[in-house]
């Protein structure tokens, strides 16, 4: 609810990025925004999203907020044209379409005065600042004049420029041009730099755990190290369980060295098949580390 109120707070806002973690209700938050617009009879609404989420969104809109929707794809688009609708994006319900379809029908989308545009999995458009990102650029240009809500659980993955890209979909002037952003924020070397960037994000980003903090966590070396260690621990536990299972299955056929997660076959566990005796070591999931005569 707080995130939905955040998006409504400034009537002159160009939009917002809702950057909650997976499972914390971004769909519900967007549903509240759509419901509010619908109640105000602002019903030119579109959701642009991955193709595999279209039916899920349509069902959730019907079940959770009782709003009608129409999935636009090539078949339904052409049917609407044949029925006399010269712009099938004009619908009595909320329009749902994929990223690829939005790109292919960019001129039609431009012609509708949208009351609200929702972009789910918006991180897929994060490289919009690159001229090679044709789908992202087409969508950005198609919905540029209209208020937008971007939903994403992973607003940053590789570069701080991805933050620039996402924010530019909401407001092209929030950070100035790409060169200005690079010059000011490419090196966040002090607390003052972080603080300035957080302040610039305040009108645009929101999440259950403050999205501004989450965006910048990606460049906190302590967090990076913590994630690396946790990932290593998970892999170690997985390997240990896989090793114990291997020992159990091959107990009558091999000699094992626990310290190196390796084993040497002394008998063939698969009669009728030709295999190497090893030794084997836990890897991908196992790799032969010495080629020997076949058992």
Q: How confident is the model over 161-206, as pLDDT tens digits?
A: 888 888 889 888 777 788 887 777 766 666 777 677 777 776 666 6
Q: Which residues of 5-23 are buried (b: 16+ CB within 10 A; e: fewer)?
A: ebbeeeeebbbbbbbbeee
Q: How confident is the model at residue 220 (pLDDT cuts 50, 70, 90)?
A: very low
Q: Extract the runs of DSSP E, i.e. beta strands, from the chain.
A: 15-18, 45-49, 69-71, 94-98, 116-119, 148-151, 205-206, 254-257, 262-265, 280-282, 286-288
Q: How confident is the model at residue 291 (pLDDT cuts 50, 70, 90)?
A: very low
Lowest mean pLDDT among 23-37, 176-190, 224-238, 270-284: 224-238
Residues 22-80 pLDDT 10s:
554 677 778 888 988 899 899 999 999 999 999 999 999 998 889 999 999 999 999 99
pTM of the model: 0.64
Which of 121-130, 191-200, 251-260 ranks highest by mean pLDDT? 121-130
- pLDDT > 90? residue 85: yes
User: Is the Cβ–Cβ distance between 162 and 127 less than 8 Å?
Assistant: yes
Cβ contacts of 19 within 8 Å, gap of 6 or more: 152, 153, 155, 205, 206, 207, 211, 214, 215
Q: What span, in angstroms and rounded, lies between the C-alpha atoms of 169 and 30?
A: 17
**Cα-only R_g, the chain:** 26
Lowest mean pLDDT among 136-140, 149-153, 200-204: 200-204
Mean residue pLDDT of the chain comes to 77
pLDDT at 49: 96
- The enclosing H or E element of 142 equals helix 134-142
Question: Comparing C-alpha atoms, which of 177, 116, 126 is closest to residue 149?
Answer: 116
């Amino acid at each position: 609810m707080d995130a939905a109120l955040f998006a409504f707070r400034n009537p002159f806002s160009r939009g917002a990025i809702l950057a909650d973690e997976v499972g914390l209700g971004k769909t519900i938050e967007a549903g509240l925004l759509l419901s509010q617009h619908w109640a105000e009879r602002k019903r030119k609404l579109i959701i642009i999203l991955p193709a595999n989420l279209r039916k899920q969104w349509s069902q959730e809109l019907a079940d959770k907020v009782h709003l009608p929707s129409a999935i636009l794809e090539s078949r339904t688009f052409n049917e609407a044209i044949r029925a006399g609708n010269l712009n099938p994006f004009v619908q009595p319900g909320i329009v749902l379409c994929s990223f690829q379809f939005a790109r292919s029908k960019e001129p039609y989308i431009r012609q509708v005065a949208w009351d609200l545009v929702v972009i789910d999995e918006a991180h897929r458009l994060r490289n919009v600042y690159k001229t090679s990102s044709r789908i992202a650029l087409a969508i950005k240009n198609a919905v540029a004049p209209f208020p937008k809500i971007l939903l994403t659980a992973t607003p940053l993955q590789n570069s701080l420029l991805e933050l620039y890209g996402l924010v530019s979909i909401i407001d092209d002037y929030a950070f100035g041009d790409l060169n200005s952003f690079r010059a000011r924020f490419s090196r966040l070397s002090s607390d003052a730099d972080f603080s300035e960037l957080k302040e610039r994000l305040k009108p645009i980003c929101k999440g259950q755990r403050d999205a501004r903090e989450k965006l910048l966590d990606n460049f906190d070396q302590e967090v990076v190290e913590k994630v690396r260690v946790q990932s290593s621990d998970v892999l170690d536990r997985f390997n240990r369980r896989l090793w114990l299972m291997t020992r159990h299955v091959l107990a009558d056929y091999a000699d094992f060295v626990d310290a190196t997660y390796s084993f040497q076959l002394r008998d063939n566990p698969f009669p009728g098949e030709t295999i190497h005796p090893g030794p084997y070591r836990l890897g991908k999931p196992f790799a032969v580390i010495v080629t020997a005569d076949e058992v």
